[in-house]
Every structure is written in structure tokens, then in C-alpha cells.
């Protein structure tokens, strides 16, 4: 997953800070998108995943106009629980963020029926 950082992605815009750099919530959303894409191959018809835990370090700033690419690798599976290692790099190869995201495989209709 690649993100071209715009003003809407900044800490100022998302309310997580007051600097015009990629906001941590937006970086975490990109990391989650990478895990959703990586989990797709594990799913049967009607299934999806929901996030349950995030441990993530935002390590390097990215300005508006920069790009960040996140990649997720499955590192653990226990029945419906799946855990991914995620890394994000900028266009110059600098490590922007890294961490682990845990998701659970659910039946989408049954999950939504709980609402």
C-alpha cells in the first residue's frame, strides 16, 4: 500500500498534532490497509477481518508531497487470529514506522448482526 501524503494526511489535519507532516493516525491506517490486503488470501466467502490490537512506532517524519509504502507479513496464525508484522518506508528507503497488527477473521454478516 502506498500513500502520497497530502495536507489532509497531516497531523494538523487529523488532529494528532500541530505540524504539517504525516500524522500517526494516518500512518496506522495505511498499515492497517496493508494487513487487510495481506489477509485477503486467508478468507473464505463471506469472511472479513477486524482489527483487535495495534503496536506501532512512528519513527520518521514524512512531509506533504512525500510517499510512504507499507507492507504486511503474516507472522502468526491461531485459528481465526492473525498477526502481521508491518513496516513502512518512505521513497528514500527510510524506515518511517514499524509494528504489529492483530486481526480476527469473522463472518461479516454475523459480526454486523451484533450491532
Per-residue pLDDT at 113: 98
Q: pLDDT at position 11, please?
A: 99
pLDDT of residue 42: 97
Count structural domains, the chain. 1
The sheet with strand 47-58 has its strands ordered as 2-4, 67-78, 81-90, 95-107, 47-58
d(CA 25, CA 17): 10
- Give the start-end residues of each E strand in the chain: 2-4, 47-58, 67-78, 81-90, 95-107
Q: Which domain holds residue 12?
A: 2-113
Report the distance separating Cα 73 and Cα 39, nearest Å. 9
For 5-46, the pLDDT digits (tens) are 999 999 999 999 999 999 999 999 999 999 999 999 999 999
- We report the CATH number of the domain holding residue 82 as 3.10.129.10
> What confidence score (pLDDT) does residue 47 get?
98
Task: Quote the cell numbers at residue 10.
Answer: 497531516
- Start-to-end C-alpha separation, the chain: 30
* 16 close to 22: Cβ distance less than 8 angstroms: no
**pLDDT tens, residue by residue, 51-110:** 999 999 999 999 999 999 999 999 999 999 999 999 999 999 999 999 999 999 999 999
Amino acid at each position: 500500500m502506498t500513500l502520497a501524503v497530502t495536507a489532509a494526511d497531516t497531523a494538523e489535519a487529523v488532529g494528532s498534532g500541530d505540524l504539517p507532516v504525516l500524522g500517526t493516525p494516518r500512518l496506522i491506517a495505511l498499515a492497517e490497509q496493508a494487513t487487510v490486503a495481506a489477509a485477503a488470501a486467508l478468507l473464505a466467502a463471506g469472511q472479513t477481518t477486524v482489527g483487535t490490537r495495534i503496536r506501532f512506532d512512528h519513527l520518521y517524519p514524512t512531509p506533504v508531497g512525500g510517499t510512504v509504502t507499507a507492507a504486511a507479513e503474516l507472522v502468526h496464525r491461531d485459528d481465526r487470529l492473525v498477526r502481521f508484522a508491518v513496516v513502512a518506508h518512505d521513497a528514500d528507503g527510510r524506515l518511517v514506522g514499524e509494528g504489529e497488527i492483530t486481526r480476527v477473521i469473522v463472518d461479516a454478516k454475523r459480526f454486523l448482526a451484533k450491532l
